[in-house]
Amino acid sequence: MVYDFDRLIDRRETDSVKWRQYGDGVLPMWVADMDFRSPEPVIQALAERVAHGVFGYGIEPEELRALLVERLEQLYGWRVTPEAIVFLPGVVIGFRLACRAVAAPGDGVLVQTPVYPPILQAWRDTGLSRREMELTREADGHYSIDLEAFERAIDARTRIFILCNPHNPVGRVFREDELTRMAEICLRHGVTICSDEIHGDLIYAGYRHRPIASLAPEIAEHTVTLMAPSKTFNIAGLHCAFAVVPNPALRERLCAAQAGLVGHPNILDYTAAMAAYRHGQDWLDAVLAYLKGNRDAVVEYVRTRLPGIGVGVPEGTYLAWLDCRAAGIPGSPQKFFLERARVAMNEGAEFGSGGEGFVRLNFGCPRSLLIEALERMEAALATL
């Protein structure tokens, strides 16, 4: 099937937070959903379910559970039991449930900054304290992990480490040796790992995603892995995510934290997820090829036409992390580009230490829209 990712789809009248947040005239390159039509099998499955006309209480579909087990083995050689799958209405909820499951008020949660703000804030409503270690930015925009600093950030009260892999916003797909070393440190200190792997299907050629829990059974025993079809198949408004928790005792604690507070995906969420995972691979292959073209266009444009702006090459995700510190922008670069270029991006400081002076740009959109945003940014910089 041929997919037209160049098609401009008007989303302003669809209650889209991405397109309605900043109003007319602003190009929204911020929140992480894509401006592409979702896979046709997903749309068709939803239409058929809606046509049935009865929307009573649903149950967790065992067929989807079995499909996920099969998918994990096919992609990663990771064998899990169907019981290890816990359905959730979102990955962000999973951060908080994992914190509640393994830590008590006053305990610590470790994060690597700069990082997705809900990870940064997961400690707030769980009574925990935050421990941080900052990723190391290299001259070419690539990020690495100072493993000694990682271990120093763990103290006697640190109970959980929230890993983001592929990393949002810096675009790293961590190598197996990096994951192994982090896992070894966590196990040595009795720290549970909560791994956000929501972008795990959005990986570019030359890189490979590996769930940290798939590295060894002893790592899996101390890990909650969070995944979802939402970013992969552009169905973020349909809230179906899942945790993979092989350890029965850890899984029981996670479900206990969920009981009475957090519901489950609804029947349409499950319908979309089933169709996406069963029939969406052709669409995913095509969108990844298109996103690679967008990624390369962003990197080339930034490096050749946006003076003072730096960017690394994302290994995964559809997010570019732009370093604006040498551009001579007064104050916040996010506000500068919003006001002068009418381009909305995410404020880097919201991602924690190491984010000051950066913006995050979402390039999951038709290329003409992307180029227009970059041209506006270039024109704004020329006014400095």
Residue 344 inside a domain? The answer is yes
| Exposure b/e, 143-157, CB count within 10 A at least 16 = b | bebeeeebbebbeee
3-state class (DSSP) for residue 353 = coil
Is 43 a domain residue? Answer: no
pLDDT higher than 90, residue 2 = no
Query: Total structural domains in the chain?
Result: 2
Backbone φ and ψ for 113, nearest 5 degrees, come out as -100, 155
| Portion of the chain with pLDDT greater than 90, in percent | 96
**CA dist., res. 287 & res. 195, Å (int):** 25
Helix axes 40-52, 267-279, angle to 10 degrees: 150
Residues 263 and 285 in one domain: no
87 neighbors 265 (Cβ within 8 angstroms): yes
Residue 7 located in a structural domain: no
Helices (H), the chain: 17-20, 40-52, 62-76, 91-102, 117-120, 147-152, 176-188, 217-220, 248-258, 267-279, 281-305, 333-336, 367-381
pTM above 0.85, yes or no: yes
Which domain-ending residue is among 279, 309, 332? 279
- For the stretch 181-205, pLDDT in tens is 999 999 999 999 999 999 999 999 9
Q: How far is residue 352's CA from residue 340's CA, in Å, rounded to a whole number?
A: 25
pLDDT tens-place string over residues 127-175 = 899 999 999 999 999 999 999 999 999 999 999 999 999 999 999 999 9
Token pair for 101: 């499951």
Reference 323, options 361, 352, 295; nearest CA is 361
Q: Is 56 a residue whose pLDDT tops 90?
A: yes
Indicate if 251 and 161 belong to the same structural domain.
yes
Distance CA 229, CA 198 (A): 8
User: Which pLDDT band, with edges at 50, 70 and 90, does 322 fall under?
Assistant: very high
Count of residues in the chain: 384
Distance CA 22, CA 337 (A): 13
Q: Which domain holds residue 170?
A: 48-279
In a domain, 10, yes or no: no
User: What is the three-class DSSP state of 250?
Assistant: helix
The pair of three-digit structure tokens given for residue 240, joined into one six-digit string? 């179906």
| pLDDT confidence bin for 62, thresholds 50/70/90 | very high
Residue 97, CA distances (Å) to 69, 102, 163 in order: 22, 9, 15
Given a contact cutoff of 8 angstroms between Cβ atoms, the answer to whether 35 and 27 are in contact is no
Do 309 and 256 lie in one domain? The reply is no
The tokens for 289 are 């090829």
CATH number of the CATH domain containing 105: 3.40.640.10
- Single out the residue in 227, 245, 279 at which a domain terminates: 279
What b/e string do you get for 26-62 counting C-beta neighbours within 10 Å, with b at 16 or more? bbbbbebbbbbebbebbeebbeebeeeeeeeeeeebe
Contact 322, 141 (CB under 8 A): no
Is residue 2 assigned to a domain? no
Q: Which residue has 């896992």 as its token pair? A: 183
Per-residue pLDDT, 126: 83
Question: Which two tokens mark 307?
Answer: 């003076």
Q: How many CB atoms lie within 10 A of CB 9?
A: 11
- The confidence score (pLDDT) of residue 260 equals 86
CB 19 within 8 A of CB 12: yes
Q: Which of 279, 301, 316 is the last residue of a domain?
A: 279
Look at residue 125 and tell me whether its pLDDT is greater than 90: no
In this structure, the answer to whether residues 188 and 264 fall within a common structural domain is yes
Q: Are residues 293 and 198 in the same domain?
A: no
Asked whether residue 4 is assigned to any structural domain, the reply reads no
Same domain as 68, residue 152:
yes
**Residue listed under structure tokens 């994060």:** 111
